Amino acid sequence: METLKSSLKALRLKQWAKNLLLVVAPLSAGINTVHDFAIVFLAILGFSLTASAGYVINDLFDINYDKQHPVKSKRPFASGALNNKNAAVILISLFLTLLLLLRYLPRDFGYLLLLYFVLTYFYTRYLKNIPVFELFLVASGFVLRLIAGAICVDLRISEWFLIVGGAGALFIAANKRLSELTYSSPDITRKVIQKYSREFLILVISSSLSICMVAYSLWAFSQTNDPIWYQLSIIPFSIALFRYLFIGAQEGADSPEEIILSDKVLLTLLLVNSLTLLLGIY
> What's the pLDDT tens digit per position in 167-205?
999 999 999 899 888 877 666 667 888 889 999 999 999
pTM of the predicted protein model: 0.86
Q: What is the pLDDT of residue 17?
A: 86
Q: What is the pLDDT of residue 188?
A: 63
Q: What is the pLDDT of residue 243?
A: 94
CA distances from 77 to 67, 115, 207 (A): 9, 26, 38
Is pLDDT at 135 greater than 70 in this prediction? yes
**Domain at 1-130: CATH architecture:** Orthogonal Bundle (1.10)
Average pLDDT score over the chain: 88
Is pLDDT at 47 greater than 70 in this prediction? yes
Residue 265 burial (CB count, 10 A): 12
Q: Is 161 exposed, middle or buried (0-12, 13-18, 19+ CB in 10 A)?
A: buried
Q: Pick the range with the lowest mean pLDDT from 39-43, 134-138, 154-158, 216-220.
A: 154-158
Is pLDDT at 94 greater than 80 in this prediction? yes
